[in-house]
Amino acid sequence: MATVTRKQREILDRQQQVLKVARQIFRQRGYLGLNMDRVAHEMNVAKGTIYQHYKNKEEIILALAVETLDKRTAMFEQACLFRGKPRERMAAIGCAAELFVIRFPDHFELEKVLSCSSIIEKTSENMQLAKTAAELKCINLVAGIVRDAVASGDLELPSEVSPDQVVFGLWSSTYGGYSIMGCDDTLRQMGIDNGFKMVRDINNRLLDGFGWRPLSTEFDYDETYERAQREIFAG
């Protein structure tokens, strides 16, 4: 294992400090309110110090997204260790996804900013690759559970459907559901008072449609969510 020198540790610590301050500014002022001058001012350092670590504020935004995605990956890895059949472990992944949104509410705002090509184009290729790698790590964890279900006989996919396509379906409904949960008044008018529960129900119907056993009509996955919270994510 490579030894981290004192100088390297100082650089890493300073990068973490920059990101901590930048995240606070982003939460308070949004994308337009975040700039290198403000970060330097809050840290009481010269602006050139910030540029030693990040070439522009877009790089900082992307680094913040990667930092948060790494936390989501860690939560998903915990969920994968949940004791139970593959579909119960998938429910534990759903629990982790919910808690991620609750614990890191600024992540979707970061994602909205980065979805603009003019923003992402201002970042380095290495930073872009880091974000892609972080996303793929989560996707591969979820796909692994789908493959386990196929191997165990709990799930029989048609020849034209791959495990990655199942993951895409779950990702689409979950990301879309969480993204619009801020529209509280509209959801209430639609008769939806618990967005998280609705996303769970939709995903269960999706997996039931694939015939992934045990079906939600045969098993209490709400209890599985509660057990995952108690056993894996307590506190």
For 25-65, how does the pLDDT look when each residue is reduced to its tens digit (9 = 90+)? 999 999 999 999 999 999 999 999 999 999 999 999 999 99
Residue 1 has pLDDT above 70, yes or no: no
pLDDT at 189: 83
pTM (predicted TM-score): 0.91
Assigned architecture for domain 56-231: Orthogonal Bundle (1.10)
Mean predicted confidence (pLDDT) in 92-97: 97
The structure tokens listed for 93 are 């992944």
- Euclidean distance between the first and final Cα of the chain, in Å? 32
Say which CATH architecture domain 1-54 belongs to. Answer: Orthogonal Bundle (1.10)
Domain boundaries, given as residue ranges, for the chain: 1-54, 56-231
Q: Which residues contact 223 (CB under 8 A, 6 or more apart)?
A: none
The two structure tokens encoding residue 205: 């119907």
Stretch 142-163: mean pLDDT: 97
Contact at 8 Å (CB) between 146 and 166?
Answer: yes
